[in-house]
């Protein structure tokens, strides 16, 4: 029982980090129907901003998160304006290929020696790690930080989407961007904003990831990006609570397969679950054909 509880906690830690990345995929998809493959790499840039602000500039933790948020937001808005906006009315496949191109560009460009460099860097811990044992279950302050930061991000996102004018505009554009434009919503602005919010979450995710698994390199965004994208599809792409649910399921299934079967089967089984869910419900667990999509 303790063993099970411990594994649930391990899975939660993984799931929450996936959730922060998955939200960016799902929001962008909800608005422009684009799978933004460069999102995992924005997450990587967030981790590197964390590395530099902690190691070189020695900023306090909240400022580190803020720097990653600002840096990633600017990057994502630039990507949107330079790479995706010119293709907005082109066939969907053109945008998709462009997204893959941007992803590869970011990975290889940042791996140049003049940028981040091609190596693995150890990520400094901004605080000392403290562990507690509660009834035989090991908990660390890292896990608590991940939990707290992720929850704060989710609440803020909920607030932005449902309680602000911009959030209403986002929902309107998601529902029908032609009509929303005719009603006076600045569609371009809303799309840029959505990219920015998604990237801000990825930036926070990057820093948390660096703290939890203290090693970064420029290709680190690929696997978490893929897993988070899977989580978004599993939960119903375009649906915000769905992305979080999907990410938590991914985290748990990966952990439980490692815990009770073998870690060799882990990724295989995670994707089998995805395929089964999609066979049963092609739109994902919480996705409906034309629900509120942001």
Partner 1 sequence: MKRTLLLLALAVLLAGGGPGCKPPAGKEIKIGLITPLSGDVKTFGESVKNAFEIAVEEANAKGGVAGKMITPVIVDDRNDPTEASNAANLLINQHGVKAIVGSVTSKTTIPVSDIAQRYRIPTITPTATNPKVTVADGKRKDYVFRACYTDSFQGTVMAKFAREKLSAQTAAVLYDASNDYSKGIAEVFRDAFAVRGGKVTAYESYGKDDVDFSAVITKVKVSKPDVLFLPDYYNKVGLIAKQVKEKGMEGRLIGPDGWDSPELVKVAGEAIEGGYFSNHYSPEDTRPEVVNWVNKYREKFGQTPDALGTLTYDATKMMLEAIRMGNSDDPGKIRDALGSLKGFEGVTGKFTMDANGDPIKSAVIIQIRDGKQRFLQVVNP
- The CB-of-261 to partner 1 minimum distance in angstroms stands at 10
CA angle 201/213/219 to nearest 5° reads: 70
Tell me the three state secondary structure of residue 237: coil
Q: Is 117 in the site for partner 1 (CB under 8 A)?
A: yes
| C-alpha–C-alpha distance, residues 161 and 43, integer Å | 22
Site string for partner 1, 81-110 (x = CB under 8 A): -----------------------x------
**Residue 24: Cβ within 10 Å count:** 31
| C-alpha–C-alpha distance, residues 168 and 166, integer Å | 5
Place of tokens 């129907």: 33
Candidates 265, 294, 245, 268; CA nearest to 15 is 245
Q: Is 253 in the site for partner 1 (CB under 8 A)?
A: no
Q: Is 10 in the site for partner 1 (CB under 8 A)?
A: yes
Task: Select 13 or 53, whichever has its Cβ closest to partner 1.
Answer: 13
Kindly indicate which of the ranges 51-59, 112-120, 145-153, 269-277 contains the residues binding partner 1, using the contact rule CB under 8 A.
112-120
Interface residue with partner 1, options 63, 163, 215, 282 (CB under 8 A): 215
Residues contacting residue 291 through CB under 8 Å, at least 6 positions apart: 238, 239
Q: Is 271 in the site for partner 1 (CB under 8 A)?
A: no
Joined tokens for residue 276: 């089964």
Stated as kind and residue range, the H or E segment containing 61 is: helix 61-79
Kindly indicate which of the ranges 73-81, 129-137, 166-174, 283-291 contains the residues binding partner 1, using the contact rule CB under 8 A.
129-137
Q: Is 259 in the site for partner 1 (CB under 8 A)?
A: yes
Residues in the chain: 294
Helix residue ranges, H only, 122-265: 141-163, 165-175, 177-182, 187-212, 222-235, 240-260
Task: Select 3 or 159, whichever has its Cβ closest to partner 1.
Answer: 3
Q: Which residues pair with 194 in a beta bridge?
A: none
Interface residue with partner 1, options 81, 188, 258, 291 (CB under 8 A): 258
- The CB-of-107 to partner 1 minimum distance in angstroms stands at 10
| C-alpha–C-alpha distance, residues 125 and 232, integer Å | 29
Task: Select 131 or 282, whichever has its Cβ closest to partner 1.
Answer: 131
Q: Is 254 in the site for partner 1 (CB under 8 A)?
A: yes
Interface residue with partner 1, options 129, 144, 183, 272 (CB under 8 A): 129
Q: Is 162 in the site for partner 1 (CB under 8 A)?
A: no
Residues that bind partner 1 (CB under 8 A): 3, 6-7, 10-11, 13-14, 104, 117-120, 122, 129, 131, 133, 138, 140, 142, 209, 212-215, 217, 220, 222-223, 254-256, 258-259, 262-264, 266-267
């Amino acid at each position: 029982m303790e063993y099970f509880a411990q594994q649930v906690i391990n899975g939660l830690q993984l799931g929450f980090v996936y959730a922060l990345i998955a939200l960016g995929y799902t929001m962008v998809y909800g608005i422009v129907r684009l799978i933004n493959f460069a999102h995992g790499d924005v997450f990587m840039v967030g981790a590197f901003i964390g590395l530099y602000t902690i190691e070189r500039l020695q900023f306090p933790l909240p400022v580190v998160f803020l720097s990653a948020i600002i840096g990633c937001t600017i990057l994502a808005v630039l990507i949107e304006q330079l790479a995706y906006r010119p293709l907005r009315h082109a066939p969907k496949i053109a945008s998709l290929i462009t997204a893959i191109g941007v992803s590869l560009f970011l990975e290889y460009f940042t791996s140049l020696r003049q940028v981040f460099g091609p190596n693995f860097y150890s990520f400094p811990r901004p605080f000392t790690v403290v562990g507690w044992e509660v009834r035989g279950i090991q908990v660390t302050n890292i896990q608590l930080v991940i939990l707290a930061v992720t929850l704060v991000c989710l609440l803020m996102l909920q607030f932005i989407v449902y309680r602000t004018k911009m959030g209403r505009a986002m929902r309107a554009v998601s529902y029908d961007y032609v009509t929303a434009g005719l009603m006076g919503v600045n569609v371009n602005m809303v799309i840029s904003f959505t990219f920015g919010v998604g990237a801000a979450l990825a930036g926070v995710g990057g820093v948390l990831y660096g703290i939890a698994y203290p090693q970064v390199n420029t290709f680190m965004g690929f696997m978490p990006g893929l897993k988070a994208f899977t989580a978004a599809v599993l939960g119903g792409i375009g649906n915000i609570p769905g992305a979080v649910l999907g990410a938590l399921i991914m985290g748990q299934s990966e952990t439980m397969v490692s815990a009770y079967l073998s870690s060799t089967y882990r990724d295989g089984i995670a994707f089998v679950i995805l395929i089964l869910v999609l066979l049963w419900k092609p739109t994902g667990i919480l996705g409906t054909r034309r629900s509120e999509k942001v």
